[in-house]
Structure 1
Amino acid sequence: MSYKNSRKRTAPTFYSKDAAGVQAFDNPPPGLEPYSGDWGLLQVSHLLRRLMFGAKAEDVTYLLSKTPEEAVTELLSPNAASPPLPVNDYNGFNEETIDDPDVPWGATWINAPFNTDIEASRIGSLKAWWVGNLIEQDRSILEKMVVFWHNHIPIQFYAVFHARRNYDYLMTIRRLALGNFKELILALTLDPAMLFYLNGQYNSVGAPDENYARELQELFCIGKGPGANFTESDVQAAARILTGWRFNWDTNEIYFAFWEHDTEDKQFSAFYGNRLITGRSGEAGVQELSELLDMLFATEECALFICRKIYRFFVHHDIDELTEEQVIEPLAQIFRNSDYQILPVLKTLFSSAHFFDTSRRGAMLKSPFDYHIGMLREFGNPIPDRSMLRDRLQHNLSIVWMGDIQQQSIGDPPSVSGWPAYYQVPVFDKSWITTDSLPRRGLIADWLLWSGIATDNTQVPLDILSTVALLPNAEDPNALVDILASWQLGIDISGALRSRLKSILLSGQISDYYWTDAWLAYTADPTDEMKRETVRNRLLAFFYTFLHQEEYQLC
């Protein structure tokens, strides 16, 4: 597919079953009962922005034709296509770049031997590849779940400093993101990148390392909430169970070095029912890991903790007593009853009246990924085709950089706790907006709107003309303002803001026909440069104001 052809888009209707996308409830019930309210632009955009990155116009139109249950079921489908392999797209990237001696230009590097001199370039290639997956995501929650689990059970790419291991870690998450949480924890416990990152590779009977054992309980399975009453001795006992696991970097083999394993019994505290895990010798020592994980999953707190993390990532940071009782606890029971299958929890939550409650719309600040990746997707901006290796890398690394300057560096969260916005009490998502990051958001919006990301052969600003042309009744300034607010803001806006935005379309005039005539003249003859620029200049001013609104920072 050529770069130009990839810009073709299907015109959505944006017609909703409730005609205007009015709010769902005056007094919405706060629980997990299935949602039965209105199904319009506001509700569909909310669902898409929370489960994906941005509410792409084509996806909005498609889901408006479904029922709420059908829409959620489709977005939760685990059948999204696997992306093509990352490739050597960095040879000759700039004067400082060292060409990869082991991988030809355009060939994948995932099976190449470790090379200290080239690993940084491969990691940059991996980050760019991941960003491309987010922008070109299928109509599925999968890509956002990969980011969720990466934040919840993270490594840092540059700390591991092995592109192949980082790629394998990502693919493990991708494979199990919508599967079974117990399988995911086991797989990542023995993941080579994780064994290195949290020192499991060096954990031995003579020198037990408590790093992974602590994070397994504090961050990955139990948490540090009021009900998480495990002790320091539990951390020490878990560390002893985890002794002996190794990874051979030359043969790619994970193995159990039983001679490095602590064979003594491991006693746990009352929080774990005073469980005693019997020490085992030789290869039988591998059984202790399964017993340890079963013990963690048997606690009430494990399911509660994970459901709280899911809720804070996808719904809202504030979990009050009523939410804990009517949402978190029932979800945790579903999680346990399904033997820690992830999909039943997600389907119940995203199909609920609670999720579609009007108070949940626009109730979170957009993460940097939601902000700039969502913006690119909602305006239909493509990325260079995979055949354009150099241009695609240049483009996607620019997007990686956008995340970096907004404190969300893809593949490199600031610590093993993930990004503070998802756990730091009481600030949570407010940490995304600071006196430093907010002006950067504005600069990114201006850059994408006025100039676009430049590569050797491409430079495409936000396609505002095509975006507006997709909308029904675009010649009516009142309808245009309303539909853009409902679609891209997802909330009701004030009359003052509505009037201000409309005034820009009218160039300060009073009569609606100042916009209507200009738009109809352009659409009747889009090749006329004067007619095109008349409309484009008004839309540039419109979207400059629109994208700088406080409401645009909300999700």
Structure 2
Amino acid sequence: MFTESNELATPERGSAWTRYIPDANTPWNLTRVVHLHRRAGFAASWNELQRDLKDGPEASIDRVLAGKARSGEIPEGFETTSTLLADAAAASNDPARLKAWWVFRMLFSPDPLGERLTLLWHNHFATSNLKVDNLEAMRRQNETFRRLARAPFGELLTAAVQDPALLTWLDAPANRKGHPNENLARELMELFTLGIGHFGEPDVQEAARALTGWTVNEGQFRAVATRHDEGEKTILGRAGRWSGDDLIGQLREHPATAERLARRLCSLFFGERAITDDAIAQLAASLRQHNLEIGGAVALIVRSNLFFAAANLRSRIVGPVEFVVGPIRAFELLEPPPSTLVLADWSARLGQDLFYPPNVGGWPGGRSWLTTRSLIGRANFAAALAEGRGIGRPEPVNALALAERDGRGRGPDELIAHVAERLLGAEPSAKWHDQIAASLGPRSAWGPEQAGRAVALILSCPEAQLA
């Protein structure tokens, strides 16, 4: 769990990462409250938004970082239920149930930021059950990502690279003295730490020798001494009788790893052109000074002026999991809850199949999420959500009741404004409002069915694809 002691040092004067203090140009308003919850979680209920709007940024950000952002909708015995669902999913040999378990956590966990970071690391150390074919191993890997989501990166890196699912995925059991297999070594350097341009083919070959003997035995990581190449290796210009642990240490300390980690974190919290290379370099320097402390870097980002700057609002394309889970939270569709099996299937249809990333590079994200096919799929999901049964609920979204409960009128203008506030933080423009209203047909026919159509139209509009 995140604590204040994990934070990186307060930025120096002139740093890109100065702390956010509301002013006339960047006020603490509903738009920024929604922004906080959509980037650092999976959206929020109306009561949570109003609470944070009233309490101000410091208290609101504290709750997000501490894993206490949610109020009122956390099921009693959540962790016990989660464990039971995960156990049953692994025992069933049904991947759909494991996906549904994770969606359950995204919907109900008191720590939505922790789940977002778990998803980030699932994509960073991309491992697919298509090859692993072991749901228990995939479940354990997922729990490792969650447990170490805010830890020093060296701890996460060691645990990830010694994880049985990842070792199987990257053919580590075939890597032994005299017959090195380069898959794990290559991805360790190219994707998990240094990045392209910071190592050469000889480094990969020698790193593979350092990793010989790492294997999986009876579902557990094992370092088999008789399979390890104890000879001298030269990696990144340093010669020695390096082991796998030595290699991880070298990679952890290399400056390129801090920069890659900074870029990975910024990919989660910033949209296109919302962050500069100079700011990333400063974040990387802070990471190096603080033992690559992930939780501290996340706190520095989320507390910053850069995070709440106008350039970072509604500038990041929403991934399929966020697109599916967020509206359930925003419209408070949890009593009764939707089918998490159905929601996981929707995410897969939209391009993000949990536990099945497309390759070792993971999902590319960004604009790749928005193809002609996926946009049609998103519109279909929006209609299914509004209708209810399409997401496994017995009743449609009652948007009129929500607006009335929250002190709004029942007319189309009030309803459109309220739905936009829940999803986007505010209406994009008067022209946008008029276009939505015109698409709903004559006002004389206004009622629950048209209100549901308004929800579907707003959720599928271009502005809703950006968080």
**In structure 1, how many angstroms separate the alpha carbons of the residues matched to 2:391 and 2:19?**
46
Distance 1:139 1:503, change over 3 A: farther
2:364 to 399, 412, 420: 420
1:536 aligns with 2:448: yes
Residue 129 of structure 2: aligned partner: 157
Deviations 1:268-310 (A, max 9, x none): 23xxxx212325xxxxxxxx22321221122211111111111
1:276 aligns with 2:239: yes
Whether the 8 Å CA contact 1:59–1:139 is kept in 2: the answer is no
Shift of 1:485: 2.6
Residue 380 of structure 1: aligned partner: 332
2:349 to 397, 405, 410: 405
Deviations 1:24-46 (A, max 9, x none): xxxxx993111112211011000
Residue 12 of structure 1: aligned partner: none
Residue 203 of structure 2: aligned partner: 234
**In structure 2, how many angstroms separate the alpha carbons of the residues matched to 1:552 and 1:445?**
11
Most deviating of 490-499 and 125-134: 490-499
Mapping of residues 249-260 of structure 1, within 5 Å: 249=218, 252-260=219-227
Q: Helix, strand or coil: the match of 2:288?
A: helix
Letter in 2 for 1:467: L
**In structure 1, how many angstroms separate the alpha carbons of the residues matched to 2:391 and 2:262?**
41
Mapping of residues 485-500 of structure 1, within 5 Å: 485-490=420-425, 492-500=427-435
Residue 373 of structure 2: aligned partner: 436
1:184 aligns with 2:156: yes
Shift of 1:412: 0.7
Q: Helix, strand or coil: the match of 1:333?
A: helix
**In structure 2, how many angstroms separate the alpha carbons of the residues matched to 1:130 and 1:494?**
36
Q: Helix, strand or coil: the match of 1:246?
A: strand
Distance 1:481 1:454, change over 3 A: closer
Deviations 1:318-361 (A, max 9, x none): 477xx111x21121122111101111111111111111111211
Whether the 8 Å CA contact 2:114–2:146 is kept in 1: the answer is yes
**In structure 1, how many angstroms separate the alpha carbons of the residues matched to 2:464 and 2:336?**
27
Whether the 8 Å CA contact 2:387–2:395 is kept in 1: the answer is no
Shift of 1:465: 3.2
Residue 246 of structure 1: aligned partner: 215
Unaligned runs of 5+ in 1: 1-28, 90-106, 113-117, 280-287, 386-391, 422-428, 510-532
Mapping of residues 162-177 of structure 1, within 5 Å: 162-177=134-149
1:550 aligns with 2:458: no
Whether the 8 Å CA contact 2:213–2:225 is kept in 1: the answer is yes
Q: Helix, strand or coil: the match of 1:132?
A: helix
Q: Helix, strand or coil: the match of 2:329?
A: helix
Q: If you compute each CA radius of gyration, which structure gives the higher value, 1 or 2? A: 1
Mapping of residues 129-528 of structure 1, within 5 Å: 129-224=101-196, 228-249=197-218, 252-269=219-236, 274-279=237-242, 288-318=243-273, 323-325=276-278, 327-382=279-334, 395-421=339-365, 429-453=366-390, 459-475=394-410, 480-490=415-425, 492-501=427-436, 507-508=442-443
**In structure 2, how many angstroms separate the alpha carbons of the residues matched to 1:439 and 1:398?**
18
**In structure 2, how many angstroms separate the alpha carbons of the residues matched to 1:152 and 1:465?**
41
**In structure 2, how many angstroms separate the alpha carbons of the residues matched to 1:195 and 1:548?**
40
Deviations 1:196-224 (A, max 9, x none): 11111221012111101110111011112
Shift of 1:468: 1.9
1:51 to 15, 36, 40: 40
Letter in 2 for 1:363: S
**In structure 2, how many angstroms separate the alpha carbons of the residues matched to 1:138 and 1:83?**
13
Shift of 1:237: 1.1
Residue 3 of structure 2: aligned partner: none
**In structure 2, how many angstroms separate the alpha carbons of the residues matched to 1:479 and 1:147?**
36
Whether the 8 Å CA contact 2:34–2:422 is kept in 1: the answer is yes
Deviations 1:120-156 (A, max 9, x none): x2x2221111111112232540111110110111111
Letter in 1 for 2:362: G
Distance 1:415 1:506, change over 3 A: closer
Root-mean-square deviation (CA, aligned residues, Å) is 2.6
Q: Helix, strand or coil: the match of 1:65?
A: helix
TM-score normalised by length of structure 2: 0.87
Distance 1:508 1:453, change over 3 A: closer
Unaligned runs of 5+ in 2: 1-13, 70-77
Whether the 8 Å CA contact 1:454–1:460 is kept in 2: the answer is no
Shift of 1:454: 6.4
Distance 1:183 1:139, change over 3 A: closer
**In structure 1, how many angstroms separate the alpha carbons of the residues matched to 2:274 and 2:431?**
33
**In structure 2, how many angstroms separate the alpha carbons of the residues matched to 1:398 and 1:383?**
16
Whether the 8 Å CA contact 1:507–1:538 is kept in 2: the answer is no
**In structure 2, how many angstroms separate the alpha carbons of the residues matched to 1:413 and 1:206?**
32
Q: Helix, strand or coil: the match of 1:305?
A: helix
Residue 22 of structure 1: aligned partner: none
Distance 1:298 1:30, change over 3 A: closer
Shift of 1:484: 3.4
Q: Helix, strand or coil: the match of 1:141?
A: helix
Distance 1:454 1:142, change over 3 A: closer
Distance 1:451 1:487, change over 3 A: closer
1:31 aligns with 2:16: yes
Letter in 2 for 1:276: A
Shift of 1:163: 1.1
Letter in 1 for 2:394: Q
Residue 282 of structure 1: aligned partner: none
